[in-house]
Amino acid sequence: MIENSHVGEVSCSPLRARIILESSFMAAFGTIALLIAFALAAYNLLAGILALRWIATGQPAPISPERLADTARRAGIAGFLAVTAAAFALVWSVFTNDFSITYIMEHSNRALPGAYKFSALWSGQEGSLLLWAWLLAVYGFVLRLTHKTDVKLYAYAGTILAGVQVFFLAVLCFAAPPFALYQGVTPDDGNGLNPLLQYPEMVIHPPMLYLGYVGFCIPFCFALGALMMRYPGEKWIKVTRVWTMVTWLFLTAGIFLGMHWAYAVLGWGGYWGWDPVENASFMPWLTGTAFLHSVMMQEKRGMMKSWNVWLIFSTFLLTLLGTLLTRAGLVSSVHAFAQSSIGTWFVVFMAIVLAVCIFTYVLNRSHLKTEHHLESLVSRESSFLFNNLVLLVACFVILWGTLFPVISEYVVGNKVTVGAPFYNRVAVPIGIFLLLLTGVGPLLPWRAASFKSIRRNFVLPVIAFWVTVIVVLAVGDRPWKDGSLDQGNFYALVAFAVSAAVMTAILSEFLRGAQVISRQTGRNLFAGLWLLTRRNTRRYGGYIIHIGVVIVVIGLAGSAFNRNIESELALHDKMNIGPYTLECVGFSQDSNLNYNSEFALLDVYSGGKKAFQMTPEKRVYLITGQPQTMVAIHSVPSWDLYVVYEGTNPDSGQPIIKAYLNPLVGWIWAGLVVLVFGTLLALVPSLSPATASLRVPVRTGPSEPAPKGGHL
Amino acid sequence: MIRAKRSDIWMKGLQAGILAIAVCFSLGATDASSRYNNLNHRLMCTCGCAEILGECNHVGCPNSTGELKELSAGIESGQSDQQILDSFVVKYGAVVLAAPTGHGFDMVAWIAPFAVFGAALLGTILLVRRWSVGRTAAVAVDLDTLDPAERERREQIRRDTGGGQ
């Protein structure tokens, strides 16, 4: 097959011949590396199962089960090296333009810039599955190296992880091989990368998302392993806490980077279209977020053990479902760049995973009995419970909306569209309710709250809520206009008011704690705030994450006030939008090896003075002939001026410019930064009581203030 | 008697509130431009881009310009919103609507989320109430029979668990 693929290149130079030989070698090398990785993962799985079975039952074994388990672990480590070798082979092939490999031919070309050659690796089915397998191997490598933390639990988790690896490597070896050779004469150049993916964020967005998707496999393996071995205590949750938070952080960052990519590249002025593939990434985020909250109940009160196990099982299954939706073409999506028939593989694997989870749960559910029950409807525990409820209902709504077209077609033979209007009506109110719980939860003490304490804690947030309502109505956001209700404006008003209340609640928590510390230590308020945060990074890091969420919601609510204008602009023509006047001062064209481009030069005036210049661009990629907009964005805290060069009117020959004024969009990205900071802070270990006492001369009182007004 | 009256007032207040909200939501847009904007956000572009018709931004899109013209013509001819939407469904199929309708099986799409939310909320409230009632009784009995050392230990646990998340 290798010879056949190069029949058209008999007269090539010795250098060319060497390159072809190397290229073919890399394809073979990559394929063999994948087969070795598959064999190693299979050995890890089988040897791990045997060893753990012998250890659990105490049966006489022909070899030491501990030694067998260790060989399984080492096979997992070696598997990482093998998958890394395969990934290296694909990277090498794309950078050396080895178009004898079908995948490289279909997703790259010679003129493609280096950074985008990397992104070619996940622009298609086989490459993205290889990326998935490699990330899984990386996580597995770390897990197996750190096994001394708890040898038995890690052995269980490592063996389950090997099972997942076997599946992905089997798909790569037998269903979607990335090193398949091109049938026929090797072309001189490839088909190139999808223009939509030729954007800087596309180099980091998919790996981030995949790190999140793949990462949830680790807490899943620990949860299932702990249940299989009837692991005593909550240690597995403590072990997986860092894994889960890091994974959640990657998934969050991946989702936001995807939103920013959609905003900057697709040129429709929005960032979230409720596309099935977007939804697929959002669903595990919701269940993962629910898990991060509910594990606190298990750690603090020994409650919700079954719930937590099923939350993490569901999260992992949803990551697989997301991949199924992306790959199998089950639902219509604008992310249709990677569809194939491997959906069946995923359906079978999901069924196996679900069966194993149910079987293990039924067998060992007595181990998950709760140690305490809720004592009051108004308590921190209840707020966590309701928070979980709302997150799961939101997940159900999105899953329902995503699958309803398929269900409708199956039941009544009529395919329907479930787009943004459905989600805006159903998911937005749920989101606002969730935001409300974000503020209410931290104000409630554990176990039970008295009416007096509730009244005291909620006065300021309620005042903030109503002040915001009045201010927003006063500055001109009137949900009721001309006798009709503007749904978007109404939701924006509620979102602003709830955000203000939640922000007040969180900040008052910080302030109250800092004041206590300040009084105890005699230091100023900022020092008190710093020490307060260091003493319980998890709690206050969590509050900062909530602040980030509030900032994001404010940014999202701004979309209710978006406006736009479209116009043909001849030289020195002007268009007005909001406080800006855009004057066309020139048009130009440019070209390079990758694309031809047309762009407009627009002087932007504000208050009668020239403020800045914008250059919206339209590219046409040479290899594919596909057009692509490059949006010009001028961002300030109050809004984004977002300008799209839409092309030229075929009748008049005049360029068409579309300008949007999108309020508060910058807040979304700023919220992400706060959210990332909060998560990183929550990952930092808190000061131990001993360390804290060395650093701070505590005068009197407890080391940390209890929630105000709680009866505890 | 007084309790019944109070409950009656609350019920009437609740009904009035729900009615007011329902009236607000049911009122439609009034002028032609807002009708045009509203309707083009309830329809999909049929070129396969999976974009809302009012947001499809492809220059030279083979479908969106024609669809928008049909929409304008429908409004100018005095058709109602429903008649315009129906005419689009006849021509392009049900997939042209951006969201399921409120009729037939489509109704399930709208009801299911709220039904699930309501059932889950009610179930959670009932569960918590059941737990809390049982627990309160148990705690009351326990506290009476506890020795001072055990009581002190419990108080310590209460203090420890009260401070953090």
Select the highest-mean-pLDDT range: A258-272, A396-410, B125-139. A396-410
- Do B87 and B143 fall into the same domain? no
Please give, rounded to a whole number of angstroms, the shortest distance from the CA of B6 to a CA of chain A: 21
Q: What is the mean pLDDT of residues B42-65?
A: 78
More confident residue, A512 or A626: A512
- Mutation target vs A (from B38, B39, B40, B165; most A CBs, 10 A cutoff): B165
More confident residue, A19 or A569: A569
Instruction: Give the Cα-Cα-Cα angle A192, A196, A198 (nearest 5 degrees).
Output: 60
In this complex, do B99 and A422 lie within 8 Å of one another by their Cβ atoms? Answer: yes
Number of domains in chain B: 3
- Mutation target vs A (from B92, B117, B159; most A CBs, 10 A cutoff): B117
pLDDT over 70 percentage in chain A? 89
Chain A positions touching B28 (Cβ under 8 A) are 484
Chain A positions touching B124 (Cβ under 8 A) are 385-386, 389
Chain A positions touching B49 (Cβ under 8 A) are 334
User: What pLDDT shows up at residue A711?
Assistant: 33
In this complex, do B27 and A430 lie within 8 Å of one another by their Cβ atoms? Answer: no
Select the highest-mean-pLDDT range: A35-44, A556-565, B72-81. A35-44
Strands (E), A410-553: 480-481, 484-485
- Do B60 and B95 fall into the same domain? yes
In this complex, do A377 and B132 lie within 8 Å of one another by their Cβ atoms? Answer: yes
User: What pLDDT shows up at residue A15?
Assistant: 54
In this complex, do A421 and B96 lie within 8 Å of one another by their Cβ atoms? Answer: no
User: What pLDDT shows up at residue B102?
Assistant: 82
Query: What residues contact A245, with CB distance under 8 A and at least 6 apart?
Result: A292, A679, A682, A683
Q: What is the mean pLDDT of residues A358-370?
A: 86
User: What pLDDT shows up at residue A483?
Assistant: 66
**At which residue do the structure tokens 């130009």 appear?**
A588
Rounded Cα–Cα distance for residues B90 and A55 (Å): 67
pLDDT over 70 percentage in chain B? 58
Residue A319 has pLDDT above 70, yes or no: yes
Chain A positions touching B105 (Cβ under 8 A) are 408, 411-412, 414
How much is the pTM? 0.84
- Do B116 and B157 fall into the same domain? yes
**At which residue do the structure tokens 């307060």 appear?**
A532
- Do B70 and B126 fall into the same domain? no
In this complex, do A542 and B165 lie within 8 Å of one another by their Cβ atoms? Answer: yes
Instruction: Give the confidence band of A553 by pLDDT, cuts at 50, 70, 90.
Output: very high
Residue A264 has pLDDT above 70, yes or no: yes
Nearest residue of B to residue A397, measured between CA atoms: B113
Q: Smallest Cβ distance to B50: which of A275, A385, A426? A: A275
In this complex, do A376 and B132 lie within 8 Å of one another by their Cβ atoms? Answer: yes
Rounded Cα–Cα distance for residues A9 and A3 (Å): 10
- Do B88 and B147 fall into the same domain? no
Structure tokens at A387: 């928070």
- Identify the domain boundary among B47, B78, B99: B99
- Do B61 and B13 fall into the same domain? no
Please give, rounded to a whole number of angstroms, the shortest distance from the CA of A446 to a CA of chain B: 6
State whether residue B47 sits within 8 Å of chain A by CB.
Answer: no
User: What pLDDT shows up at residue A692?
Assistant: 57
A131: nearest Cα among A73, A208, A191: A208
In this complex, do B100 and A650 lie within 8 Å of one another by their Cβ atoms? Answer: no
In this complex, do A417 and B135 lie within 8 Å of one another by their Cβ atoms? Answer: no
Beta bridge partners of A641: A634, A661
- Do B65 and B120 fall into the same domain? no
Select the highest-mean-pLDDT range: A63-67, A183-187, B12-16. A63-67
Please give, rounded to a whole number of angstroms, the shortest distance from the CA of B37 to a CA of chain A: 11
CB A539 within 8 A of CB A250: no
- Do B94 and B37 fall into the same domain? yes
Q: Smallest Cβ distance to B116: which of A396, A646, A712? A: A396
Rounded Cα–Cα distance for residues A404 and B109 (Å): 7
Structure tokens at B13: 């207040």
In this complex, do B120 and A377 lie within 8 Å of one another by their Cβ atoms? Answer: no
Residue B36 has pLDDT above 70, yes or no: yes
- From residue A678, give the alpha-carbon distance in Å to each of A245, A246, A537, A675: 11, 12, 9, 5
**At which residue do the structure tokens 């800092």 appear?**
A514
Give residue-wise pLDDT tens across range A70-112: 999 999 999 999 999 999 999 999 999 888 899 999 888 888 8
Give residue-wise pLDDT tens across range A606-665: 988 999 999 998 888 887 777 788 899 999 999 999 999 888 877 777 888 989 999 999
CATH number, residue B78: 1.10.8.640
Q: Which of A130-134, A435-439, A679-683, B6-10 has the lowest mean pLDDT?
A: B6-10
- Do B88 and B129 fall into the same domain? no
Instruction: Give the confidence band of A332 by pLDDT, cuts at 50, 70, 90.
Output: low
Chain A positions touching B159 (Cβ under 8 A) are 702, 706, 712
User: What pLDDT shows up at residue A590?
Assistant: 85
Rounded Cα–Cα distance for residues B116 and A401 (Å): 13
**At which residue do the structure tokens 């359906």 appear?**
A347
Q: What are phi and psi of A55, to 5 degrees?
A: -65, -40
In this complex, do B136 and A644 lie within 8 Å of one another by their Cβ atoms? Answer: no
- Do B77 and B117 fall into the same domain? no
Structure tokens at A696: 């701070």
Question: Domain residue spans in chain A?
Answer: 1-193, 194-369+379-418, 439-560+669-695, 561-667
Rounded Cα–Cα distance for residues A404 and A417 (Å): 8
Chain A positions touching B128 (Cβ under 8 A) are 374, 376-377, 382, 385
Instruction: Give the confidence band of A693 by pLDDT, cuts at 50, 70, 90.
Output: low
In this complex, do A408 and B100 lie within 8 Å of one another by their Cβ atoms? Answer: yes
In this complex, do A385 and B99 lie within 8 Å of one another by their Cβ atoms? Answer: no
Structure tokens at A127: 């490459």
Q: How many CB atoms lie within 10 A of CB B142?
A: 12
Instruction: Give the Cα-Cα-Cα angle A380, A383, A388 (nearest 5 degrees).
Output: 130
Please give, rounded to a whole number of angstroms, the shortest distance from the CA of A376 to a CA of chain B: 5
Range of the domain at B125: 108-162
In this complex, do A411 and B105 lie within 8 Å of one another by their Cβ atoms? Answer: yes
More confident residue, A496 or A523: A496
- Do B88 and B35 fall into the same domain? yes
β-pairing verdict for A639-648 and A632-636? antiparallel
Chain B positions touching A396 (Cβ under 8 A) are 113, 116
State whether residue B140 sits within 8 Å of chain A by CB.
Answer: no
More confident residue, A174 or B148: A174
Residue A229 has pLDDT above 50, yes or no: yes
Residue A568 has pLDDT above 50, yes or no: yes
User: What pLDDT shows up at residue B25?
Assistant: 44
Give residue-wise pLDDT tens across range A465-492: 999 999 988 887 777 766 677 788 889 9
Structure tokens at B25: 């939501």
On average, the pLDDT of chain A sits at 85
Residue A707 has pLDDT above 80, yes or no: no
In one letter, which amino acid is A573? D
